[in-house]
Amino acid sequence: MSILLAVSGWDPAPWRRRLTSLLPSHKMATLDELFDRPSVRYALSWRHPPGALADLPNLQAIFSLGAGVDHLFADPALPDRPIVRVVDPDLTERMSEWVVMHALAHLRQLRRYERQQRERIWADDDDQPKAAEVQVGVLGLGVLGTDAALKLGALGFKVAGWSASEKSLPGVACFHGSGGLKRLLSMTDMLVVLLPLTDATRGLIDASLLSQLRRGGRLGGPILINAGRGGLQVEADILAALDSGRLKGASLDVFEREPLPTASRLWTHPAVYVSPHNAAVSTPEAVAAFVARQIEAHERGEPLTNLVDRRRGY
Amino acid sequence: MSILLAVSGWDPAPWRRRLTSLLPSHKMATLDELFDRPSVRYALSWRHPPGALADLPNLQAIFSLGAGVDHLFADPALPDRPIVRVVDPDLTERMSEWVVMHALAHLRQLRRYERQQRERIWADDDDQPKAAEVQVGVLGLGVLGTDAALKLGALGFKVAGWSASEKSLPGVACFHGSGGLKRLLSMTDMLVVLLPLTDATRGLIDASLLSQLRRGGRLGGPILINAGRGGLQVEADILAALDSGRLKGASLDVFEREPLPTASRLWTHPAVYVSPHNAAVSTPEAVAAFVARQIEAHERGEPLTNLVDRRRGY
């Protein structure tokens, strides 16, 4: 009985080491070695090559080793087996660190003061808005969106949130559905995007959505913070909105193509923060521990948790 | 009966407008105009010229219009009258925004990723520490230090604090006295300074103190964040510690001399954030409302609150 580590773009070695020490009675295999396909009971995937999980007759479950599962659905030959989404508290905490840092950097004009520092200019702003004067709208109220919303609230921001299905959070005005999205956007000064990438959300952050954000707030224009998925955004529309002044600034950790192509104007736009899809990394330690616990429970006959709804796509 | 606005370096006009609308039955005077000295009952000071408050025989109280009161004690002719310290919730919230932003910027290496962005480099760190692996030590647990400590804790940092007298805060390991300071420093990866400037704290952040900070933490060296008072720090010692690698980075909002002299190496040191003493501004709106409430209460015969202890100096 064995576990298949089906990753691309990542080094499987630290995962293998960690999982071997947690599950010593299981064999591990990687895609580049010969292994007995019928013996594979669990597949652990990060962007596996399409077809790599086919022809595994005894496969019990597929685990996604990162926060999203959209990479799995890119494989038309994905076997029809339960998919387990990783919920890593470390990843959630790191994501909120990144989101809160960027929300504060835009609120407090950190870039402006860094520029002044380079020019040795000692100058202050007459009219510094505070967090309580800024309405944040969080798109996506899953584990990540919920944690970010609560921490932004703890720092003093006014926080509202939107999710596809109805949610309720203490201290956060919650909207849902397409009517709710319009209402949220019309009140939002700072849009934080932590949605899953599905057929319903692909390309959602486009000119139409950006044009619905509130005008005339205390920040001098709306701010976009996307740490969800690059496929959620239309980068040409974001750049056009920044150029026209309709959007005041952006922090982007994810992009339509990654690595972000050298030619992209996002790299050099003065109002844009670019980070290399590292807002919240999965560490082999935390994720492997989660996966090992689930596999052990399943082997004892207990049900898998954090299962993906294939119809919704997350 | 009148109120004297005794400020230097600030425009008194917005203060005067706001206070006149809040206290319409009181006359206002500024230092540059002729006024009847015996009629002055309240002096509102920000860095008043030494001697400016002498010879006010009916002075009832002195209000400091900013967060500190050390500027008052710089006047050897300061009258022996009650001194009221401003407690402005807006100022507290802004201070915590600034402190948390800089704590996160050092934790998440924001400068490094901004540099990479300028060079269009897509590269990540193998070993990103998270807040829960970093011990923050907050020096000063007054209104500002307490709020910052609790918000840093909400973001996931391990937080300890130190104050001259014994304090207790939920979720924050509290130390006091000189033995407590040594213990706090020896465990601290990130030192946040929100102390008042007194004879006991002047020059406290020197080579000796910096040498006591923990070596070998997850940040690769200790970080200094000072938004208290410039007089707390010895800038030559900070620069030497940065140059030697004993200190990994710093965020400074306050300086020995302000504006920070153009020749200071702090402006250009790559590991230093300089901001122009604007971590937490007092707005005339919030402070004037606080002062007006206190004056009205005093005129009704009620006691003044938030009084300064002249012996402690804060």
The mean-pLDDT minimum among A294-298, B123-127, B255-259 falls in B123-127
Q: Which domain holds residue A199?
A: 89-274
Q: Residues B40, B179: one domain?
A: no
Model confidence at B67: pLDDT above 80: no
- Residue contact B122–A276, C-beta within 8 A: yes
Assess whether A94 and A205 both reside in one domain: yes
Q: Do B96 and A151 touch (CB under 8 A)?
A: no
**Among A105, A117, A276, beta carbon nearest to B124:** A276
Provide the shortest C-alpha distance from residue A266 to chain B (in Å).
9
Burial degree of A69 (CB within 10 A; 0-12, 13-18, 19+): buried
Residue A275: closest C-alpha in chain B: B113
Record: contact B122-A97, CB cut-off 8 A: no
Q: Each residue of A40-61: pLDDT tens digit?
A: 999 999 999 999 999 999 999 9
CB-based contact B248:B220 (threshold 8 Å)? yes
pLDDT digits (tens, 9 = 90+) for A200-253: 999 999 999 999 999 989 999 999 999 999 999 999 999 999 999 999 999 999
- Structure-block tokens of residue A202: 């692909």
The enclosing domain of B22 has a CATH number of 3.40.50.720
**Would B306 be classed as within a structural domain?**
no
> Looking at the domain assignment, is residue A53 inside a domain?
yes
Residues A197 and A290 both lie in one domain: no
**CA nearest to B283 within chain A:** A127
Comparing CA positions, the residue from A253, A308, A310, A313 lying closest to residue A87 is A308
Active-site entry in A71, A229, A257, A265: A229
Catalytic, A229? Answer yes
Q: How many domains does chain B have?
A: 2
In the DSSP assignment, the letter for residue B29 is E
Taking contacts as CB-CB distances below 8 angstroms, the residues of chain B near A123 are 276
What ipTM did this prediction achieve? 0.92
Where are the strands (E) in B113-264, listed by range? 135-139, 158-163, 173-176, 190-193, 223-226, 249-252
Percent of chain A topping pLDDT 90: 90
Same domain, B191 and B207: yes
Residues A80, A21 share a domain: yes
- C-alpha B85/C-alpha A52 separation (Å) is 69
**Do A158 and A49 fall into the same domain?**
no
Per-residue tokens: B109? 């290496």
The verdict on A168 and A102 lying in the same domain is yes
Interface contact flag, B96 A155, Cβ < 8 Å: yes
Chain B residues inside the 8 Å CB shell of A278: 124-125, 128
Query: What's the pTM value of the predicted model, to 2 decimals?
Result: 0.92
Q: Residue range B205-213: average pLDDT?
A: 98
Each residue of B94-151: pLDDT tens digit? 999 999 999 999 999 999 999 999 999 999 876 889 999 999 999 999 999 999 999 9
Tokens of B79: 């009258």
DSSP letter (8 states) at residue A172 = B
CB contact under 8 Å between A122 and B276, yes or no, is yes
Cα nearest neighbour of B107 on chain A: A97
Chain A residue with Cα closest to B152: A155
Read out DSSP for B77-135?
T--SS-EE----HHHHHHHHHHHHHHHHHHHTTHHHHHHHHHTT-----S----GGG-E
